Amino acid sequence: MAKNEAKLINLSSFRDPDNFVLIGDDFVFRVYLGSGHKALETLLTSPLYAELVSSGSILPIAKTSYGDLDEKSKVDLINRLPDLSPGAIAELAIFKSPKLTLITYPYEWTNQTLKEAALHTLHIREKLLSIGLDLKDASAFNIQFQGLRPVFIDVGSIIEISKTFVWPGYRQFFEHFLNPLLAIDRLSVDSALIWRINWLTGLPSKKMPSILAFRTKVRPRYFLLNLASLPSGRGENVNTQTSKTRESNLRLKDCIKFHNKLNQRLRREVMRIKQKDLNTQWAKYGGREHYTNAEIALKIDSVLSSVGEFSNSNSYVLDVGGNDGKFAFPLASKGVTSIVLDSDPQALENGVSWAKSLDDSMQRCIFFLNVDFLNSTPSVGLFESERISFTERFKNPELIVCFAVIHHMVISQSVPVRLVIENFRRFNCPLLIEIPSEDDPKVKLLMRGKAGLQPQEYSVSQIRLELERQFGHVSYLGTTSTHRELFHATP
């Protein structure tokens, strides 16, 4: 087992004392250490379970046993619980769900994606409350996406509802969702940037007074929500002794009614937040006026022909510098998953808005990530392994598409051609790349603004030579415009 794989398995869920996950070859296994699985079993025996699975709101869940684990998961389970006897291990409550091909994190999401995750968290909680269950936390990491469709994955956070007016996940919902969304609205920035202030914990409430405008700080809705389930008024849970005293005098139906109303208030607050368009460099690039319709059609045809027949349903394409995803949409129409990468947040927002007009099957085949390919998201958390890096999570694409981006990488970002190509090569897959020549007006403009960069440091011939050296086989596919050429490189 690779070193990073071992870390991922051991550290992906250590913060929950009641249960943990094992990441197998095809399934994710949830292992319970106490009686917490009873809440999950209540869900599984309810008609609600089939409703949530059929709508794609949660992944299918099935009870299993130690004997059904794959060998990698068995070894990890024994390492996690070295003092447990074989008999005790055999009696553990274990559940399994399909393993998702792609995992993303909130510090890579667009503003709209974060908002969808917030609403989906409240949707799952509302459904659980209807059968006497609740969520013990509200982590953004509990939500993943199948294309643009959110799916709840952390079944270990499902609990039986307590007779109290305190939601354990309340503060986390603010810090992971509501605070970042309010900051986006106030500061006109993107959610990925806000989340990168504290990679694992979102935006702490104590930072909000310095971020929000005065009128927002005292807005009645926001003020009351902060107090709704936090009697201390300081954003902390109530005193345990007080909580226990009150529980004895409460009726369960009153608590459920209260939490449903709280859920509705939170939903309304999320929905009221309107994100402004950001004035970014590439926000209006989507028109691609410098290409003719025929040239755009040629690029689309080259993408579709490069895909061919993928090896399995888990295959995906990385569209590097994909802006609004224009060349990913044709792939989605063929049922091929495309991950659009760009560091321009408004370009990505434009793509998400456009994609939401597509039919459901296409929406499940396209996703947008705020990722700079030359400076992608790192591993973070305990031992830098709790949340693993972009390159570890997306290391097996079937194809990388890179249209008219390499000149920005070499000239604007000052990365030598050799290292740019090496960064592509480490993904060990074919590369479809469009290279603007040194005579291209955009290249000339960039060169004039880059003092010290010699003309020989950027040229089509140099890039092609490096492609041949690192990939081996390079095919010339023709010109996409007067000064832009298209190549297909295969390792």
Other residues' Cβ atoms within 10 Å of the Cβ of residue 35: 10
Are 21 and 80 spatial neighbours (Cβ–Cβ below 8 Å)? Answer: no
H/E run at residue 195 = helix 191-195
Helical residues (DSSP H) of 337-405, grouped into ranges: 345-355, 360-363, 390-393
Q: Which CATH number fits domain 285-490: 3.40.50.1000, 3.30.365.10, 3.20.20.100, 3.40.50.150?
A: 3.40.50.150
* pTM for this entry: 0.90
Helical residues (DSSP H) of 229-383, grouped into ranges: 240-247, 252-272, 293-307, 329-333, 345-355, 360-363
Q: CB within 8 A of 141, min separation 6: which ones?
A: 105, 106, 154, 387
Are 24 and 9 spatial neighbours (Cβ–Cβ below 8 Å)? Answer: no
The CA angle 364-155-98, to the nearest 5 degrees, is 50
Q: CB within 8 A of 239, min separation 6: which ones?
A: 232
Cα–Cα distance measured from residue 362 to residue 152, given in angstroms and rounded to the nearest whole number: 20
Are 182 and 273 spatial neighbours (Cβ–Cβ below 8 Å)? Answer: yes
Cα–Cα distance measured from residue 220 to residue 216, given in angstroms and rounded to the nearest whole number: 9
Give the distance, in angstroms, between the CA of residue 267 and the centroid of all CA atoms in the same chain: 21
User: Per-residue pLDDT for the chain (491 aa), expressed as one digit of tens each?
Assistant: 344 443 434 456 778 889 999 999 999 999 999 889 999 999 999 999 999 999 999 999 999 999 999 999 999 999 889 899 989 999 999 999 999 999 999 999 999 999 999 999 999 999 999 999 999 999 999 999 999 999 999 999 999 998 888 899 999 999 999 999 988 888 888 999 999 999 999 998 888 877 766 455 445 555 556 544 343 444 444 434 344 445 556 788 899 999 999 999 999 999 998 888 888 888 787 667 677 888 888 888 888 888 876 656 678 999 999 999 999 999 998 889 999 999 999 999 999 999 999 999 999 999 999 999 999 999 999 888 889 999 999 999 999 999 999 999 999 999 999 999 999 999 999 999 999 999 999 999 998 887 766 766 899 999 999 999 999 999 999 998 889 999 999 99
Q: Where are the domains of the chain?
A: 1-99, 104-276, 285-490
What are the C-alpha distances in Å from 7 to residues 21, 22, 83, 125, 257? Answer: 13, 11, 20, 31, 42
Report the phi/psi class of residue 428: left, alpha or beta, with left for phi > 0 and alpha for psi in -120 to 50.
Answer: left
Cα–Cα distance measured from residue 125 to residue 358, given in angstroms and rounded to the nearest whole number: 28
Cα–Cα distance measured from residue 468 to residue 425, given in angstroms and rounded to the nearest whole number: 11
Q: What is the CA radius of gyration of the chain?
A: 25
